Every structure is written in structure tokens, then in C-alpha cells.
Chains A and B, each alone.
Chain A
């Protein structure tokens, strides 16, 4: 049973019940470099699959973070707003971006599993 899945936009998604926790992958934080600013969606915002809803900025550039699936934001992670460098230190654990209540919980199964994401990275 896979509980963490991935998107081609380099996000990871962990399911617990019908709540998905979303963050960016190590590959993504590595490519971004030192993160200096994060902007997150407010709780209650409804997002479409693929909608740009968060921003992560390094010294050099700003990048969008997309909602991996349709749903409603239930909690942004204020800790990474207060300490953006957390995204580099613990991208796949404490530095999650937001929690999302999926519009349709079965959508999760459409995302790539770890092997699929690794294979995708090899094509880049």
C-alpha cells in the first residue's frame, strides 16, 4: 500500500484518511537552491488539480507550487513561512507546504508511486 505519491511538478503527497499533505521533493529543493521566501494558500481555499497555489523563492528565482489534485486547503504550514530555509533542510518531512482535503480521495491513486517518480527523474 503506497501512502506517498509524486507529481511531475516535483511534489510529494502523503495520504492520511482523506487528508493529503503536500510538499516538494528533495530533487526540487536541490534544484531551487537556498529557499528565502515561501507564500502559501489560506485555509479554506478551493483549488483545482494543477492550480498554482503556493510560491517558493530562492535568491535567484521564484517558482510556483501546484496543487497536485482538486480539493480544499485545510492547513498551510506556517513554520516554513517563518523559516523558509527549512524547505532545504527537511523538504520531505517537517517542511510540508499545505494539507489538502481531496475532492475525490480516489484521485490519489492516479499519482506516481516512488518507483514511477524515480523513473520520471531519470528522463529529465
Chain B
């Protein structure tokens, strides 16, 4: 940790005005919750809609012809097959097969790809991407843009009233829209398991757009606390917890992001070790884990067998407000990764029974 002053998002003044409890996160002062509290914000998102400031995340563009083919050297997803105004979840892989980051890539047409990467990784990812682009392609950082996530079943009603072209989007579709007079980029996506939108906005217009969205029926501001419990219930990975440089996509159960063509071509960074791990079968696997009691098992909780031998550890865990109970994910030996397998979690030195369980813990409600 350093003593550098925290960076602020373009919505810092609004976050404080709304009573956000500001905490340091990835070098930014971010609202972990507003006065309603994590539990209420979480449940409100699942029932109505919640607005999250996620402006700390890294936004960037790749400009130039052949961007998709060039990016395929760095990510194992099908970038060349990404249609205009469509978005995909993919990974930045490393030579040894580890994961540098997970990210969203949108094809905006006109030789323009739009990227959203994790806040904690943007200063690693973006120089890496820039250094690997061939001549004729440029990477533009959008440090001058804010990012809002409007998530929950009421998000569609809100957008239908304000920007009908966004409301017509399919899941992972992207549109250029106008909100409060500002030119925005909206995608039908998010990280809560709910239907919703992520909206990229010029920084100097972000507060007006946020105020407009917060004024719509059913919209409540929500902080990083609720975002974390929502994504955990949705079984989605948090970079730095569930995936990192030491996990490969095979053990992280992310091979669904690597389609057949990319496996056959094997021309992305880290292809050899990742495909070798796939062929050999991974030694460990990321799984969902449901504790049987009420005690939450947090990150780094040891997973043990009846004899007390360590089998792995919890990477994300806590209390799921919609589930109304604890839930977690973690890595276990592959022979113990089948759904229903009984495990024990060492919480404060005592074994607590738990079971390997399919994720998501709360069903996704993406529009299809």
C-alpha cells in the first residue's frame, strides 16, 4: 500500500452528497454503500433497479483496421466474429497461461473496438495492449469518461423512457445514445446477474446523467458492497480474488470464453500451457460452494476434508442477501469438484460442513 492520495471519480461530489461511505478501492475513493446499506441496496437491485458508479474501471479504444485480429493475439475470445455494436466478455492471458485480467470488448464498427478493464489492472493491461498492437493501430485511454451501471429488472423501463434505442438492445448489444443531452455509449450488460445497462459518459456530463437516472422511478444508488454480493450470488469472478496471474482459464472454469476456432488456431498468448492444461485436465477447479450453516466463509478460508487435510481455499465468500444465506466460491482438487461433493470449511479454526454447488446461486435474469 502506498500513501498516494486517492483518485476520485467524476461522480465524487454526488457520491458524497448522496451520503456514500467512501473507502479506498484500487486507488480510488469509492462508495462502499449509501445510507440505505448493503442489504437494502442489494435487494433493491434484484427487485427494482440500482445505479452504481463504476467510473474507476478502465475504458479504452483500439482504433485502426484489423483491430480484432490484432487483439486476438492477446485474448482467446472470438474477436473477429464480434458483430458491429456487439460486446463480449474475454480474458487477457499471459505467457505462462495465467490471467492478466478479464474484460469487455465491444465492436463499435468503423475500425473501433471499445474496452472496459478492471480498475486494479488498467495500468498493467493498457500498456500491455498498446505495446502489442501492430503499426497502424492505436490505443486511446478514456480517463476522461465516467461509467455507470444501471442494474435490475426496472432498468429496462427506465431506459425505455429515456433512450428507446437502448431499450431495444439484446443482451450484450451496444448503442450510442443521448442522455441528458450527453452522447453516451450504452451496453445491455452488467455484473450483477440482472438485466441492465452499463453506460459510458463524458466525465463532465456524468453528474447530470446520474442525477437523471436517479430521478427515475425505482432507481436507488448502490455501492461496491452490494455490487460484490450481487456478483457473488451470480457466480461471477472477481479479478484478484477468484482469478489472477496464478490461475489459468481451465481451472477457473472459463473455457467457455475460448471457442473452437481459437483453440484450433492456438495463436493467443499462453495458448500452449492453457491447451496443455485442458488436455491433461486441471489439478484444481473453481467451484461454487454453499456452507450448510449460517456462518459466512470469507476469502482465504481453508477448504478441508474430514481428516483436516487442506484441499484448497475460498476465493470469494460472504452472505447472499437474496439467497438469505452464505455462499462462496473457491478452488478444490478436481476429483472433489463435482456438484454435491461434501467439504468442510475451516472458519475460525472449526470445520463447517459445505457442499460443492452449481453457480449461479441466484438465477441470471439477462434478457435473451
- Interface residues, chain A, with chain B CB atoms under 8 Å away: 33-34, 36-37, 39, 55, 57-62
Contact = CB atoms under 8 A, between A and B. Distances in A.
Contacts of B348: 39, 55
Interface in B218-243: 225-226, 228-229
B32 A37 contact: no
Contacts of B318: 59-60
B81 to A, nearest CB: 39
Contacts of B321: 36, 59
Contact of A59 (B38, B294, B295): B38
Interface in B36-85: 37-40, 42
A58 B295 contact: no
B37 A33 contact: yes
A36 B33 contact: no
Nearest to A34: B39
B342 to A, nearest CB: 22
B298 A59 contact: no
B319 A36 contact: yes
Interface of B: 32-33, 37-40, 42, 225-226, 228-229, 294-296, 298, 318-319, 321, 326, 348
B38 A33 contact: yes
A36 B295 contact: no
Contacts of B33: 33, 60
Contacts of B229: 59-60
B37 A57 contact: no
B295 A60 contact: no
A59 B32 contact: no
B294 A37 contact: yes
For the complex, would chain A's binding face be called helix, strand, loop or mixed by DSSP majority?
strand
Contact of A60 (B40, B225, B326): B225
B319 A57 contact: yes
Nearest to A39: B295
A1 B348 CA distance: 39
Contacts of A55: 348
Nearest to B318: A59
B298 A36 contact: no
B39 A37 contact: no
A60 B38 contact: yes
Nearest to A60: B225
A104 to B, nearest CB: 28
B206 to A, nearest CB: 26
A57 B296 contact: yes
B314 to A, nearest CB: 13
A60 B38 CA distance: 8
Given A33-B38, A37-B326, A39-B348, 20 more contacts: A33-B37, A33-B39, A34-B37, A34-B38, A34-B40, A36-B39, A37-B319, A57-B296, A57-B319, A58-B319, A59-B39, A59-B226, A59-B319, A59-B321, A60-B32, A60-B33, A60-B225, A60-B318, A62-B296, A62-B298
Nearest to B33: A33
Given A55-B348, A60-B318, A37 B295 contact: yes
A62 B225 CA distance: 14
Contacts of B37: 33-34
A57 B296 CA distance: 8
Contacts of A59: 38-39, 42, 225-226, 229, 318-319, 321
Contacts of B40: 34
8 contacts: A33-B38, A36-B296, A36-B319, A37-B319, A57-B296, A59-B229, A60-B225, A60-B318
Nearest to A62: B298
A60 B33 CA distance: 10
A36 B324 CA distance: 9
Nearest to A81: B294
Contacts of A62: 296, 298
A57 B39 CA distance: 12
